[in-house]
A and B are shown apart, each in its own frame.
Chain A
Amino acid sequence: MKQEDLIIELPHLQSLTQRLGSWFVSLACWSLWIYFLVPLVSLSGWLLGVRKFSAEVRWFGGYKSLIDLLQLYGLTILGILLIWTAWTLTRNFLRPQAPFTEGKGDQTDIPAALALRPEGVRHARSVRNLTVLFDEQGVIIQTSDLDSIRAKT
């Protein structure tokens, strides 16, 4: 089993509607991204000393407002980073909350849930091909061993 075979890439199977839809969404989304990134172009141009971008930078609120905004972003990011780091370090010293009982309920609740005797459960667990019947509430009412049925017929 080659890992490359895991990927299914068959764009030629797309319908015309899917192709047109993809094309339209691509165009619309790229346009929107470029639209929202216009200030970045203006800022880059202004930083590179292109004079005609000065007016645009002023129109977006000026360099000062960008610095203020970046400070706010920086403080927020720093705050999040500090909280995550502190939390990670603190969690190392915390113990798990619940008592853990290995194997609890594993064997004891099964007969009741299956409506079978323990020996019936043991048998059901050893069967390779088992059919299970349920009532309307999803409770098991019967199991039948297909292998043994087959053996009789």
Chain B
Amino acid sequence: MKLDPSIEDWTTRLQSLFGDLPELLSLNALIALPEWSLIDDALARFMFYYPLFMAYVWMIGAMVYFWRHERRKAGDILEPPVLSKAPKVSILVPCYNEAENVRETIAYCAAQNYPHFDILAINDGSRDNTLEILQELCETYPNLRIINLASNQGKAVGLRTAALLTDSDYLVCIDGDALLAPDAILWLVRHFIKHPDVGAVTGNPRIRNRSTLLGRVQVGEFSAIVGMIKRAQRLYGRIFTISGVIGAFRKSALADVGYWSPDMVTEDIDISWKLQLAGWTIRFEPRALCWVLMPETLQGLWKQRTRWAQGGVEVLIRYFGSMWRWRSRGMWLLYLESVISISWSFLVFATLIFLPMELFHETHRERLEDLSPSWTSMLLSITCLIQFGVSLFIDARYERKTGGLARYYYWMIWYPIVYWLINVGTTVNGFFRAIRKKRGQRAVWVTIDRGLRQR
């Protein structure tokens, strides 16, 4: 086959510079380079120490947050705050095929311990009888309104439409299968009243379904990882994302940034970045509880986590340009940490692929000895155990009435082993999905696995 003359020319130039090109590009030649061992060593250290380092960053950040914001409130979780005023709040509940859950969700919303609120249930072109159930519920709950979208538009458009069709200044957005704790609005709204710079407040999602290993591990994950990271990020002053299942918004802040973006696969991550890049503050309120259903099958979990990872990458791509502004400096560390985390996942993924090959490679067999027990592996394991212990200590107060969290310590220890592997896979998968996605393509609802239920 005859090569294009320009390619031939380049090949000759490269060969004169670096020698035989195919030989240079072969794996063996790369490994034989003297610089390779240094790079290899640095990558191995990064792969091992990065999660360890970040574990301490999150853990210490969460402990400082606890000491500043939660320590003195020990025991008064049941005592709702007293507000100087009670502005009208709208609870937005986007529903897509929620016939099975919506009655319970609306019942919990209606039982809010707050004097001035209404509920806007958004039926987003459901194919089941969600609309009929909502119309029936309208008879029972006088403060329930229905916004029926004639065709399916996606969560972002649904939320935006409802936000425009309410005269409340504050919106609390929950999922169609989430159960809002009775004092949640009080805890969320107090931030808006006290601090005019607060554009949004994210609540504390708690897992309801705990029948399987995956469900139980997620209980630990939401305490040890999600709760801890949210506390640490709040202390830092910027939050990667509001929880899509429970978030409260100042409507003027939403209007300021153009509401939710319909073309982002995770509208919650996007709105968090939009608000913070516009200078609004986001707060975390651990006392605003919301009980949620999570996937309990590997397939369901894989889909959900891929979507989250894709959403994160989409946001990093979209706001890359905005990062160069001095005004965005508060988000730089968050952006950098996200990029490093994705790079770490790719590195682990590559290692997992090459590891079986190395098993059969004479010169690399000794490197596998690194996996044998050592002081370092011992300290890594102890770090994980401490991290889980600290997070359970901080978070357990919010589950005293539901049996506590201590028993989940037994399940949490699997998180780093099982979950990191799943998250590495979903990050890589989500990354490529985000890259492949056409710009402006509308995000649509996906079928969600909600765990084992008694039918």
Task: Report which A residues bind B (CB closer than 8 A).
Answer: 1, 3-4, 6-11, 13-14, 18, 21-22, 25-26, 28-29, 32-33, 35-40, 43, 60-61, 65-66, 69-70, 73, 76-77, 80-81, 84-85, 87-88, 91, 96-106, 109-110, 113-114, 121, 124-125, 127-134, 138, 140, 146
A28 to B421, CA, bound (A): 14
Query: In angstroms, how far is the closest chain A Cβ from the Cβ of B379?
Result: 6
Output the nearest chain B residue to A12 by Cβ-Cβ distance.
B211
* 17 extra interface residue pairs, beta carbon distance < 8 Å, beyond A6-B291, A8-B209: A3-B402, A9-B210, A14-B452, A18-B212, A18-B213, A25-B414, A29-B418, A65-B375, A88-B64, A96-B197, A98-B278, A101-B252, A106-B251, A110-B164, A121-B164, A128-B145, A132-B161
Q: A8-B209, A106-B251 are in contact. Are A39 and B375 (CB under 8 A)?
A: yes
- Which B residues touch A40, using CB under 8 A? 378, 381-382
> Is B343 positioned at the interface, with any CB of A under 8 Å from its CB?
no
Query: In angstroms, how far is the closest chain A Cβ from the Cβ of B104?
Result: 9
A134 to B442, CA, bound (A): 14
Query: In angstroms, how far is the closest chain B Cβ from the Cβ of A37?
Result: 5
Partner of B374, one of A3, A6, A60, A101: A60
- Which B residues touch A129, using CB under 8 A? 135, 138, 145-146, 148
Query: In angstroms, how far is the closest chain B Cβ from the Cβ of A38?
Result: 4
Task: Report which B residues bind A (CB closer than 8 A).
Answer: 53, 56-57, 60-61, 64, 68, 107-108, 111, 135, 138, 144-151, 153-154, 157, 160-161, 164-167, 169, 179, 196-197, 206, 208-213, 235-237, 251-252, 255-256, 262, 278-281, 291, 293, 297, 327, 330, 373-382, 401-403, 413-414, 417-418, 442, 451-454
Partner of B146, one of A81, A96, A114, A130: A130
Q: Are B380 and A76 in contact (CB under 8 A)?
A: no
Q: Are A39 and B212 in contact (CB under 8 A)?
A: no
A-B contacts, 13 listed (Cβ < 8 Å): A6-B179, A14-B212, A22-B212, A32-B417, A36-B378, A70-B379, A80-B56, A88-B64, A88-B68, A88-B235, A98-B197, A104-B256, A105-B252
- Which A residues touch B149, using CB under 8 A? 131-132, 134
- Which B residues touch A9, using CB under 8 A? 210-211
A81 to B279, CA, bound (A): 27
Q: Are B252 and A8 in contact (CB under 8 A)?
A: no
Partner of A11, one of B138, B197, B211: B211
Partner of A131, one of B150, B160, B373, B376: B150
- Which B residues touch A36, using CB under 8 A? 373, 377-378, 380-381
A102 to B413, CA, bound (A): 46
Q: A60-B374, A105-B255 are in contact. Are A10 and B57 (CB under 8 A)?
A: no
A92 to B216, CA, bound (A): 38
Query: In angstroms, how far is the closest chain A Cβ from the Cβ of B455?
Result: 9
Q: Are A61 and B454 in contact (CB under 8 A)?
A: no
- Which A residues touch B377, using CB under 8 A? 36, 39
Query: In angstroms, how far is the closest chain B Cβ from the Cβ of A109?
Result: 6
- Which B residues touch A91, using CB under 8 A? 237
- Which A residues touch B56, using CB under 8 A? 76-77, 80
Query: In angstroms, how far is the closest chain A Cβ from the Cβ of B179?
Result: 7
Partner of B454, one of A6, A10, A88, A99: A10
Q: Are A29 and B402 in contact (CB under 8 A)?
A: no
- Which A residues touch B373, using CB under 8 A? 35-39, 60
Q: Are B151 and A134 in contact (CB under 8 A)?
A: yes
A26 to B165, CA, bound (A): 50
A32 to B281, CA, bound (A): 42
Q: Are A125 and B167 in contact (CB under 8 A)?
A: yes
A18 to B451, CA, bound (A): 12
Query: In angstroms, how far is the closest chain A Cβ from the Cβ of B114?
Result: 16
The interface centre, meaning the residue of B148, B160, B297, B401 with most chain A CB atoms within 10 A of its CB, is: B148
- Which B residues touch A85, using CB under 8 A? 64
Partner of A29, one of B256, B281, B414: B414
